[in-house]
Chains A and B, each alone.
Chain A
Amino acid sequence: MLKKLGMMTTLLIPICIAVNVVGGYIVTLLKLPLYLDVIGTILAGALTGPIGGALVGLVTNLITGIGNPVLIPFAVVNIAVGIVAGLCARKGWFTTFKMTVVTSILIWAIVQVTAVPMTVILFGGTAGGGSSVITSFFLASGKGIWEAVFSQSIIVETVDKLLATFIVYFVIKRIPESTLIKFNLGSRYVEEAA
């Protein structure tokens, strides 16, 4: 499968995985109440399509899973983000600011659709992060488990995923055109600029 995608994608994937991890790392250095750990997944989707995006999502969680296996099942969320980003990119929805708004909403939506059931069914409502305090708060105030996890997810994911998508939008603008056109979906961004 990777062979068909070509060498540019093969070599982009490790970079994007590292971007996911380092994004999460810088966030902790700057003490930001965000994750920003799917920037690489979205970028891979945007430049190479759904398969590249999905692969980055999968391998990211396999690699972070080496140190914390609990993260491995959440690969599903990361893969879904990559697929949605890739499909949007195929339609050219990363090329303008307006369309990127649509893309960011779709990415946000797919995170809700995948992460919430995963958290509730597989882990009983918590994946162990600090945001579980919010879930607990909603539960204590009498809400049901689904409602509580969903509310928590909206609070912590919304700004995060919108921001991640727009970071990718700005990054693509700064990649040299000669490099950009070598990626499977790269010519979309060059035509737009021309």
Chain B
Amino acid sequence: MNRKGVLSGLYPMTKLTVVFFVCLSAFIAGDFRFGYFVVFPCLLILALLEGQFVPYAKKLVSAIVIMFLFIFLIKACLVPSETVLWRWGILKIYEQGLADALSLTSIILVAGGTILLFFETTDIEDFMISLQKVGISHIGSYVFLSTLQMIPDFIKKSKTIMQAQRARGIETEGNLLVRLKAFLPTLTPLIISSIADIEDKVITMEARAFSVEVKKTHLKEINMASRDKIVIGLAILGFVLFLIWRFIL
């Protein structure tokens, strides 16, 4: 998000609206080609324009490739149906199974791909502010943002603890039981110390007026611009045209 692309510049709710309509379209399209040959190339092009192609593609691949392989294996090869499309030794591909796999994966591709692109091009803090503007509690936003800072911190600390455990002679390699035994002393100190800190953290938050019941303001200013309205308008128009094409024509 260093470079401000077109998508990064849009208001989070605008993007979310588009994500919603695209996913809905994929569900009612009833044709795997919509996902694979219409939406997917569009997503890749958008990611490319955004300068996010490599990280986006990497995340998408790691999220879905293995899953898709198994879906095809299970649906098309392992669950028998009437017509066998192709056979090679004991390996068979069933026609119905292949069709099912294609339509399922196409929906997953659209839903996963659009949501992933949304998060790749949206600052989470902006997203939270926009959620608060539509009435989500600032507490919810706090929980979300605080978790996002806490996770990397926990990961760093767990590595440190594990190193310390090793130095004290606790084995972290070896047979299954040995490694399992190393799990507890790594995780529990982290949990206990964080929980023990909660009371002081409550006091910190109260000292910062967290529980004061007023409409919270935001230092960061994000607003819907006219281009957001245009994009939402286009999304709705596109969806209506899609419905006409799908059900009337």
B143 within 8 A of A: yes
- In the complex where A15-B194, A139-B78, A171-B192 touch, is A36 in contact with B183 (Cβ < 8 A)? yes
A51 within 8 A of B: no
In the assembly, what is the distance between CA of A126 and CA of B74, in Å? 8
Does B74 lie within 8 Å of A32, measured CB to CB? no
Residues of A bordering B, CB below 8 Å? 1-3, 7-8, 10-15, 17-19, 21-23, 25-27, 29-33, 36, 39, 43, 55, 59, 62-63, 65-70, 72, 123-129, 132, 135-136, 139-140, 145, 167, 170-171, 174-176, 179, 182
Contact with A along B144-186 (1 / 0, CB 8 A): 1011101101110011001000000000100010011011101
What are 12 A-B residue pairs whose CB atoms fall within 8 Å in the complex? A1-B137, A7-B206, A7-B210, A19-B190, A39-B191, A59-B147, A66-B124, A68-B62, A69-B111, A125-B70, A132-B66, A175-B195
Chain B proximity of A176: nearest CB distance (Å):
6
Choose the segment among B4-12, B43-51, B100-108, B222-230 that binds chain A (4+ C-beta atoms closer than 8 Å): B100-108
Which chain B positions have C-beta within 8 A of A63? Answer: 144, 147-148, 151
Chain B proximity of A23: nearest CB distance (Å):
6
Does B196 lie within 8 Å of A10, measured CB to CB? no
In the assembly, what is the distance between CA of A55 and CA of B142, in Å? 13
Choose the segment among B26-34, B197-205, B231-239, B241-249 that binds chain A (4+ C-beta atoms closer than 8 Å): B197-205
Count of interface residues, chain B, beta-carbon cutoff 8 Å = 65
Residues of B bordering A, CB below 8 Å? 59, 62-64, 66-68, 70-71, 73-75, 78-79, 100-101, 104, 108, 111-112, 115-116, 119, 124, 137, 139-140, 142-144, 146-148, 150-151, 153-155, 158-159, 162, 172, 176, 179-180, 182-184, 186-188, 190-192, 194-196, 198-199, 201-202, 205-206, 210-211
**Which chain B residue has the least Cβ–Cβ distance from A31?**
B179
In the assembly, what is the distance between CA of A147 and CA of B105, in Å? 22
What secondary structure prevails in chain B residues at the interface with A? helix
Choose from A17, A59, A69, A139 the contact partner of B112 (Cβ within 8 Å): A69
- In the complex where A2-B143, A21-B151, A171-B191 touch, is A11 in contact with B63 (Cβ < 8 A)? no
In the assembly, what is the distance between CA of A126 and CA of B105, in Å? 11
Give the top 10 A-B pairs by smallest Cβ distance, nearest first: A128-B67, A139-B78, A126-B70, A69-B115, A68-B63, A14-B147, A132-B70, A14-B146, A2-B139, A69-B112
